[in-house]
Structure 1
Amino acid sequence: MAVNAPFYTDVLIIGAGPGGLMAAHALAKLGIGVKIIDRRGPNDKYGNADGLMSRTLEIWQSYGLFDRIASRACPVHLMIGYEQSGDGISRSVPTTNVVVPARYQYDFGVAPEIIEEVLRRSMEETGHRVSQRLSPAYIDRAVCRDEPIKVILRRLSLESNINGEVKSVLSNGHREFGPDTDDSEIIFARYVIGADGAHSWVRRHFDIPMEGDQTEYFWGAADVAVTTTFPDFRAKCVIQAATGAVILIPREDDKIRIYVQFDPSEAARDESGRISIPSDAATSMVLDKAKIGLRPYEISFTHVFWCTVFTVSQMVAAKYSVDNRIFILGDACHTHSPKAGQGANAAIGDAHNLAWKIAHVLRGWAKSSLLDTYEIERRRYAQDLIAFDKIIAEALDGGTAADYQSLLHQQNMFTSGIGIRYSSSLIIDAGLPKGAAHLEAGYRLPPVGLNRLADWRPQELQDLAPSDGTFKLFLFPGNILCESDASRLELFCAALSSPPAATEWLGTRVRIYTILDSEKEKAMWNNVPLILRDWKRVFVAASPENAYTKFGISREGAVVLVRPDGHVSLASMLSTSAAAEIMTFFENI
């Protein structure tokens, strides 16, 4: 059995699904050394994710990836409910799919392999590649804070099963391997991320329990190409047929994703009582159920790309990390039904939250305690997701399509990701006067149009906060041509830059932008104080959607501190007190 020379890296990522690839992509873009492995081979077939939500699209835009995925995805603008009617189904009034204010007023229906391909290719541009058919075999459980983590990987043979499982037994704390491996690799990493799915090897290796329920909800899913008399197969459809719920989601290249609900009594089970259905039987079960559910419309399947049946687990991991050195994300730490389309989005959100924090600690910009906020923020989100998933599951289990449609609209702030709010030490609540009535710390920075003052170029505010690992400080001083507003800005800048330590974090970890409420015909970009005098970073609020009006900026101005992941840390009045609070924040982070 060959053993290669040890490989050293900053972060080892186990699992190259959407979450693992997003983590790898984000870290690589920040200059962090990454090795990412996956148990799958290049030709393995799989399904899983079926779309990206509005907030996830904003995240992709922040990494410069939106156009790459947009060119290959299917925007989903329309939602339609169908109810049981006589021997068939009848159509309800169509509605907009995304009903909350968002930069992108739609979701993307897109195959997981396309999501992964876009992330993989972008990651490869940084010189990183996925090492495939590798599986973790051993991780040193005695994690020492000052030493790299030792990980042994085993290469899987072509005959290894789809889960990439390695036959093993525990012997004196080490793994012994069966004949389906032929060589191994030793990795030393500062951090390890387990993005290895619902049956996570990393989670099980460290005995992290899942808390929640294994439900009796039984569903089938398939990616198909069809010919049909059903008129709305290019809309998101929720159909409550006599035989159970059917959900259709349009996908790229004229494909559609179909979900069908089964009664648990229809399931074949193994000796332990778990559902056990051969893949060929599963395919016919799912397609036949869809045909019956769509009556009186006819549907035939010209190609089946992927099909599966599953029961629904609604669980959250008891913890997300081991000593802030080993982390889990995505399905490894939360499992739920796919009916609200949160799977890949939740995993990508986990990765987006975690990557910049690891980068800051590795760069010496933050204490290791910063990593505590990953579990604090994302585990709370996962618990909220499971609670919502239970409501969704109940609505589909015997409820009406109209009720489900209404529920999705009512909860669209959550399902879109726009309404996710974090609460941790990274959210500053020091009782300072409110400077922006419509901006709340913890939420993501909303979009709004601006004009760059030096050349009047239109600019989207969110695009001033890309995922580049830096904090963004947005100053809203009011009218720079007004003496009192200009004086207030001068005092703030003096307070912010007076301590010697401020020059270090202002120059490396923070980018400052000034947004004026002045007439662009009269103001000039160099009217601002010296430390703000960069022609690329001075803007005026644009019409018709003025940022001052949208955000409720007070007459005394406002300061907004935005984290590297686009969430607001502080929204306060522009004052020397706010400057002091910001300096304290960076001293303590």
Structure 2
Amino acid sequence: MAVGIDTGEYDVVIVGGGPVGLLMAYQLKRFGVSVCVFEQYDKNTQDAYGRAIALFPRTTEQLDQLDLIEPMLQLGFACRTSVTYKDGERIIPGRVWTFMENIKDTAYDFTLVLRQMYTEEILREKLESIGAPYYQSVQCIDFEIDQSAPLNSFAVTSIFTDLKTQKPFKLKSKYLIGADGGRSFVRRHIGIPFDGDTSEDKWIRIDGIVETDMPLNRSYGAIESKTHGNVLWAPLDHGATRIGYAYTPEIAAKYPDGVTEEVAVKEAIESMKPFHVKFKEVHWWTLYTIGQRIARTFSANDRVFLCGDAAHTHSSGAAQGLNTGIHDAVNLGWKLALQIRGVTSPEVLRTYSAERLTAVQRLINYDKDISLLMTHKWPSWYKGDPDADPYLVLGQIFEEAASFNTGLGITYPANVLNQESKLELAVVPGSRPPDVELTMPGTNQRVRLQRVTRNMAKFWVLVFTGNVDVTRSSVQRLESHLASAQGVKGHKAVGWITVSPVAGCSPYEALGTKPMGDTYFDTSSLAHEKFGVSMSEGGMAVLRPDGLLGSAGPIEAQWLLDYLTKVLVL
């Protein structure tokens, strides 16, 4: 038995202690699930800087729901502007990163730039604060699943090696999660194919403290170069900057002995011409090959799940890697926790792989195009003028994918969670509603919808009231019907919010009847408008624990009961 490692039984064992594995463990522990994380490497000896840097709005919203975003806001760089330069001249309107400048309906209307070292450090501290065990220098070498074991039993037996003592040990768990990177042992051992390919294209990324005469040097920048591709200029935390460029065969031919830090710096300076750049400090650099791969499924045997790079790898061109991994962890986290706690039907957990595959496959297809265009090459589908400027097409693709890049427009297909609405809204099931502002009774303080529904262990029923007389009778009828439906109204995984366009000295007086759950006033009517709810008739919407719309309908009990019966164990 490994010294100092608790080898008892766990609900969930996570292989991989990077940001995705840490976030997964933190989320599960908060939900009351026993979890343990094992990281193969000693983080103290890994690269201190580098890797992922950009957190887009939907990601920061999810981190806010988990009470993680504030320390990241204290350290990160909030970027709201972008710039494009060609031959030293600023292009207006800009291309590529301009989606950052038009982000709406969220409190996080910016890109938070924070290097992965700091993100991981915050996550480790948070994980320690809630008492979830986390071990480094421990390698998973085997696992097996008892297929005959009943649901939620300890059917997974994992074998690990403590790399410091070289002693093996076993663990029993209900579920196993592979968050162990692109070379994932978990994925390979369970036999899930990793489809895709690797190109011949290579990119360099280099971080450090620089001086430059480029005018807008604290905006996210694209410098259009014919020799170094579409050069990335990214302002980082702590006053640092990242420069990224294509390491083309022509550049590589200049350095037969390979790439060194000196070469990376020299070519970074060349890539930025005609602007002058001087490196005062180099924090990190890397040379890597571009490719796109995706696991054929993100789950196996209803017991093993893949997240992050273990499930998909792609270029850093759109800066989506860590964001996509966080979306994996959040999507799986609440589903797995509620399954273990016996709250939801097994079909809910089974939506994880299908939902995330849909989003990631779109990213893979998108990434193939932008990585070629950023390298000043044409995708195979392009049939236009070969002498045209690839960066024009690149800008168009980024503009068309703006809602996908921010994460705010990611939508999942119909399934047990995303059921057809009985009311036509401006938001479709499986997509994110706008984060509207509401008013607190009494104090008249403004509060965001996502703030009052941030408990990710609940499905939230929003009752949008309308005309006072119509609402009074509808809510009273709803209350009566739910009272006779055993186990629904007071269900531990169901929360209620009444959204009233009529304000008053108290919710009761505003509505003329007892509200469903807590009440917030929609004094500007924007909540009703953005959801697309009639101001006269009102309506109801069900939000999933991750904040996406599950379904919607009139202020009536039957459709709601039909939805909840398919999702919850009543």
TM-score (norm 1): 0.87
Q: Which residue of 1 aligns with 2:226?
A: 242
Matched, 1:422 2:400: no
Three-state SS of the structure 1 residue aligned to 2:350 is: helix
**What residue identity is the alignment partner of 1:477?**
T
Matched, 1:29 2:61: no
Quick one: which of 278, 291, 298 aligns to 1:300?
278
Three-state SS of the structure 1 residue aligned to 2:188 is: helix
Q: Which residue of 1 aligns with 2:520?
A: 539
Q: Which residue of 2 aligns with 1:66?
A: 69
Quick one: which of 287, 312, 333 aligns to 1:309?
287
**What residue identity is the alignment partner of 2:246?**
Q
Equivalent pair of 2:13/2:173 in contact (CA under 8 Å): yes
Equivalent pair of 2:503/2:510 in contact (CA under 8 Å): no
Quick one: which of 117, 121, 129 aligns to 1:125?
129
Q: CA deviation at 1:557?
A: 1.1
Matched, 1:153 2:153: no
Deviates more, 1:562-571 or 1:210-219: 210-219
Q: CA deviation at 1:5?
A: 7.3
Residues 261 and 188 of structure 1: is their aligned pair in 2 closer, same or farther, counting only changes over 3 Å? same
Equivalent pair of 1:55/1:418 in contact (CA under 8 Å): yes
Equivalent pair of 1:78/1:94 in contact (CA under 8 Å): no
Q: CA deviation at 1:109?
A: 1.0
Deviates more, 1:101-110 or 1:561-570: 101-110
Matched, 1:79 2:65: no
Q: CA deviation at 1:538?
A: 0.8
Q: CA deviation at 1:507?
A: 3.1
Three-state SS of the structure 2 residue aligned to 1:518 is: coil
Residues 42 and 53 of structure 1: is their aligned pair in 2 closer, same or farther, counting only changes over 3 Å? same
Q: Which residue of 2 aligns with 1:388?
A: 366
Three-state SS of the structure 2 residue aligned to 1:140 is: strand
Residues 528 and 250 of structure 1: is their aligned pair in 2 closer, same or farther, counting only changes over 3 Å? farther
Three-state SS of the structure 1 residue aligned to 2:465 is: strand
Q: CA deviation at 1:196?
A: 0.6
Three-state SS of the structure 1 residue aligned to 2:323 is: helix
Quick one: which of 433, 456, 475 aligns to 2:463?
475
Q: Which residue of 1 aligns with 2:60?
A: 57
Q: Which residue of 2 aligns with 1:550?
A: 530
Q: Which residue of 2 aligns with 1:255?
A: 240
Q: CA deviation at 1:116?
A: 1.0
**What residue identity is the alignment partner of 1:311?**
T
Per-residue CA shift, 1:98-135, capped at 9, x if unaligned?
42424121101111011111112112111124211111
Matched, 1:580 2:561: yes
**What residue identity is the alignment partner of 1:350?**
D
Q: 2-side partners of 1:507 and 1:580: how far apart?
A: 12
Q: Which residue of 1 aligns with 2:12?
A: 11
**What residue identity is the alignment partner of 1:549?**
E
Three-state SS of the structure 2 residue aligned to 1:507 is: coil
Q: 1-side partners of 2:257 and 2:141: how far apart?
A: 29
Matched, 1:186 2:161: no
Residues 316 and 303 of structure 1: is their aligned pair in 2 closer, same or farther, counting only changes over 3 Å? same
Q: Which residue of 2 aligns with 1:327?
A: 305
Deviates more, 1:330-339 or 1:405-414: 405-414
**What residue identity is the alignment partner of 2:446?**
P
Per-residue CA shift, 1:246-291, capped at 9, x if unaligned?
10111101111221102146559xxxxxx9986xx34233222211
Three-state SS of the structure 1 residue aligned to 2:14 is: strand
Residues 55 and 551 of structure 1: is their aligned pair in 2 closer, same or farther, counting only changes over 3 Å? same
Q: Which residue of 2 aligns with 1:489?
A: 475
The alignment of Structure 1 onto Structure 2 pairs a total of residues equal to 544
**What residue identity is the alignment partner of 2:202?**
F
Q: 2-side partners of 1:5 and 1:34: how far apart?
A: 11
**What residue identity is the alignment partner of 2:504?**
K
**What residue identity is the alignment partner of 2:419?**
D
Quick one: which of 468, 480, 491 aligns to 1:507?
491
**What residue identity is the alignment partner of 1:446?**
P
Residues 420 and 528 of structure 1: is their aligned pair in 2 closer, same or farther, counting only changes over 3 Å? farther
**What residue identity is the alignment partner of 2:422?**
L
Structure 2, unaligned stretches of length 5 or more? 377-388
Residues 423 and 529 of structure 1: is their aligned pair in 2 closer, same or farther, counting only changes over 3 Å? farther
Q: Which residue of 2 aligns with 1:93?
A: 92
Three-state SS of the structure 2 residue aligned to 1:324 is: coil
TM-score (norm 2): 0.90
Per-residue CA shift, 1:179-217, capped at 9, x if unaligned?
xx6222321111111101111111111121111221222
Q: Which residue of 2 aligns with 1:441?
A: 429
**What residue identity is the alignment partner of 2:548?**
H
**What residue identity is the alignment partner of 2:213?**
T
Per-residue CA shift, 1:441-466, capped at 9, x if unaligned?
11123211111224423211111221
Quick one: which of 188, 198, 201 aligns to 2:185?
201
Equivalent pair of 1:38/1:134 in contact (CA under 8 Å): yes
Deviates more, 1:560-569 or 1:522-531: 522-531
Q: 2-side partners of 1:498 and 1:485: how far apart?
A: 20
Q: 2-side partners of 1:404 and 1:475: how far apart?
A: 43
Q: 2-side partners of 1:310 and 1:293: how far apart?
A: 17
Compute the RMSD of aligned alpha carbons: 2.5
Q: 2-side partners of 1:120 and 1:204: how far apart?
A: 27
Q: Which residue of 1 aligns with 2:47?
A: 45
**What residue identity is the alignment partner of 1:251?**
L
**What residue identity is the alignment partner of 1:6?**
T
Three-state SS of the structure 1 residue aligned to 2:242 is: strand
Q: 2-side partners of 1:230 and 1:547: how far apart?
A: 43
Q: CA deviation at 1:523?
A: 5.6
Equivalent pair of 2:504/2:510 in contact (CA under 8 Å): no
Q: 1-side partners of 2:64 and 2:484: how far apart?
A: 35
**What residue identity is the alignment partner of 1:329?**
C
Q: CA deviation at 1:402?
A: 5.0
Residues 380 and 78 of structure 1: is their aligned pair in 2 closer, same or farther, counting only changes over 3 Å? same
Q: Which residue of 1 aligns with 2:399?
A: 409
Per-residue CA shift, 1:56-80, capped at 9, x if unaligned?
0111111122211101000111111
Residues 485 and 223 of structure 1: is their aligned pair in 2 closer, same or farther, counting only changes over 3 Å? same
Q: CA deviation at 1:38?
A: 0.9
Matched, 1:342 2:320: yes
Q: CA deviation at 1:483?
A: 1.7
Three-state SS of the structure 2 residue aligned to 1:28 is: helix
Equivalent pair of 2:417/2:544 in contact (CA under 8 Å): no
Q: 1-side partners of 2:256 and 2:24: how far apart?
A: 33
**What residue identity is the alignment partner of 2:121?**
E
Equivalent pair of 2:156/2:175 in contact (CA under 8 Å): yes
Q: 2-side partners of 1:474 and 1:232: how far apart?
A: 44
Q: CA deviation at 1:500?
A: 1.5
Three-state SS of the structure 1 residue aligned to 2:326 is: helix
Residues 339 and 276 of structure 1: is their aligned pair in 2 closer, same or farther, counting only changes over 3 Å? farther
Residues 438 and 38 of structure 1: is their aligned pair in 2 closer, same or farther, counting only changes over 3 Å? same
Q: CA deviation at 1:496?
A: 2.7
Q: Which residue of 2 aligns with 1:462?
A: 450
Quick one: which of 490, 501, 520 aligns to 2:504?
520
Q: 2-side partners of 1:310 and 1:253: how far apart?
A: 25
Q: CA deviation at 1:233?
A: 2.5
Three-state SS of the structure 2 residue aligned to 1:305 is: strand
Structure 1, unaligned stretches of length 5 or more? 158-180, 269-274
Q: 2-side partners of 1:389 and 1:145: how far apart?
A: 41
Q: 2-side partners of 1:296 and 1:233: how far apart?
A: 14
Equivalent pair of 2:207/2:282 in contact (CA under 8 Å): yes
Identity %: 27
Q: 1-side partners of 2:105 and 2:261: how far apart?
A: 37
Q: CA deviation at 1:397?
A: 2.7
Residues 57 and 276 of structure 1: is their aligned pair in 2 closer, same or farther, counting only changes over 3 Å? farther
Q: Which residue of 2 aligns with 1:164?
A: none
Q: CA deviation at 1:143?
A: 4.6
Equivalent pair of 2:38/2:139 in contact (CA under 8 Å): yes
